[in-house]
Structure 1
Amino acid sequence: MKFGILVFPGSNCDRDVAYVTRDLLGQATRMIWHQETDISDIDVVIVPGGFSYGDYLRCGAIARFSPVMQQVIDHALKGKFVIGICNGFQVLTEAGLLPGALARNQDLHFICDRSSLKVERNNLPWTYGYTEGEVITLPIAHGEGRFYSDESTLAEIEANGQVLFRYQENPNGSLNDIAGICNLQGNVLGMMPHPERAADKALGNSDGLRLFQGLLERVGAVV
């Protein structure tokens, strides 16, 4: 499996993700500059965390118009896999690949902490490494991570089983404690917590590694 990690001006978690995919899991990994227009060699696109374009206008709003994003949209529409982490989640909502939006945290403060999350379902490649209902711990670090949508969209997300991760102690005011969602097809995931920061046992927690391992186990053999 080949991973492609987007790099925008202001990205700062791209190398953390590459450490997981390339060094811990031994998978082919390519850093993709935001001006590239050919990602046909990539199986899984990762839109990493950081502060793309300095978060000007609003988080993810400018990155959405980078040349590479049309390729990411096409990649997703073909049923290929895309994950957006933190700022990457914000970019995916701005691009229309995921419903809803990420707004300022309820207390208007930047939050950097560990958060307990419930795995809502495990029948998708993203959560194959977990058990349904399992509570895991992942780091969070964001100032605009409060998931928001209108009532009808929220109802659809819940009815369709698109919530994959839910906060156990809501840190930011997200509606319905939502920490991570997927699209209807299940091939696009956005999440505010950072699985790549909980992937090395030397750091005391490897709950995030299982997200990548499950994806490899379910999908790696067929791409």
Structure 2
Amino acid sequence: MRAAVIVFPGSNCDRDMKVALEQAGADVHMVWHKDADLPEGVDLVAVPGGFSFGDYLRCGAIAAQSPICQAVVRHAEAGGYVLGVCNGFQVLTETGLLPGALMRNSGLKFVSKTIDLKVETENSAFTIGYRAGGALRIPVAHHDGNYVADASLAARLVDEDRVAFRYSAPLNGSVDNIAGVLSENRRVLGMMPHPERAIDALHGGTDGQAMFRALVEATVAA
């Protein structure tokens, strides 16, 4: 599997993402935000966490205007896989690849800790390595992780089985405790928790490993 990790000014989880993907067996390329094209033959694009452009204007809004994001949108529209984590999730909502918006945490404080996460669906290349209803321990680190969706969108996400993860307990004000959502074709996932920070027992846990292994297996099988 060939993967591209996008790097913006202010990204700080890009190398973590690279390590997680390489550990799972992927061939990873780091791509600067000013590049206009993705490397040839890329299966997965990962948009990592951090504070792109200092979170000025609105988290992810400036990054979404970078030249590479046009290529990311084309990749997704062609059926490619895209994973956005934390700031990457914010970027994907700003590009329109995922619905809803990420707003300031309801408690108005930065949240940084390992939390309990509930798997809501096995029906995606991102979550097939887990059991629906199962619990994961995954770190979070965000100030603007409050997922906002009106009642109609929230109901549609549930009806279409597009809620990938929920927080096991209220954390940041997210509607229905939603922590991750899938696109209509189920090939784009945005999530606030950091699976790339849960791949090594020495760092506190390995619950993120199954996601990256499943992605590699899905693209190889295709």
Distance 2:26 2:172 in 1: 34
TM-score by length of 2: 0.97
Contact 2:24-2:216 within 8 A present in 1 as well:
no
Distance 1:157 1:25 in 2: 29
Amino acid at match of 1:36: D
Distance 1:170 1:42 in 2: 36
Paired residue secondary structure (2:126): helix
Does 56-65 or 197-206 show the bigger shift? Answer: 197-206
Q: CA deviation at 1:149?
A: 1.3
Residue 43 (structure 2) pairs with residue 26 (structure 1): no
Contact 1:119-1:135 within 8 A present in 2 as well:
yes
Distance 1:132 1:220 in 2: 23
Distance 1:160 1:26 in 2: 31
Q: Which residue of 1 aligns with 2:119?
A: 119
Q: CA deviation at 1:114?
A: 0.8
Q: CA deviation at 1:63?
A: 0.3
Residues 176-195 of structure 1 correspond to what in structure 2 (within 5 A)?
176-195=176-195
Distance 1:199 1:104 in 2: 28
Amino acid at match of 2:199: A
Distance 2:26 2:151 in 1: 41
State the Cα deviation string for residues 133-153 of structure 1 (Å, max 9, x = none). Answer: 101110000000000012211
Q: Which residue of 1 aligns with 2:166?
A: 166
Contact 2:24-2:209 within 8 A present in 1 as well:
no
State the Cα deviation string for residues 86-135 of structure 1 (Å, max 9, x = none). Answer: 00000000000000000000010000011111111112110011011101
CA-based RMSD of the aligned residues comes to 0.9
Residue 34 (structure 2) pairs with residue 35 (structure 1): yes
Amino acid at match of 2:28: T
Distance 1:204 1:147 in 2: 26
Gaps of 5+ in 1: none
Percent identity over the alignment? 49
Amino acid at match of 1:131: R
TM-score by length of 1: 0.97
Q: Which residue of 2 aligns with 1:94?
A: 94
Paired residue secondary structure (2:193): coil
Q: Which residue of 1 aligns with 2:155?
A: 155
Q: CA deviation at 1:5?
A: 0.1
Contact 1:128-1:218 within 8 A present in 2 as well:
no
Q: Which residue of 1 aligns with 2:135?
A: 135
Amino acid at match of 2:12: N
Amino acid at match of 1:141: A
Q: CA deviation at 1:12?
A: 0.5
Gaps of 5+ in 2: none
Q: Which residue of 2 aligns with 1:48?
A: 48
Distance 1:111 1:86 in 2: 12
Contact 1:166-1:178 within 8 A present in 2 as well:
yes
Q: CA deviation at 1:214?
A: 1.3
State the Cα deviation string for residues 37-79 of structure 1 (Å, max 9, x = none). Answer: 1213311000000000000001000000000000000000011
Contact 2:25-2:216 within 8 A present in 1 as well:
no
Q: CA deviation at 1:26?
A: 3.3
Residues 40-79 of structure 1 correspond to what in structure 2 (within 5 A)?
40-79=40-79
Paired residue secondary structure (1:126): coil
Residue 201 (structure 2) pairs with residue 201 (structure 1): yes
Q: CA deviation at 1:201?
A: 2.1
Distance 1:78 1:145 in 2: 28
Contact 1:12-1:50 within 8 A present in 2 as well:
yes
Residue 118 (structure 2) pairs with residue 80 (structure 1): no
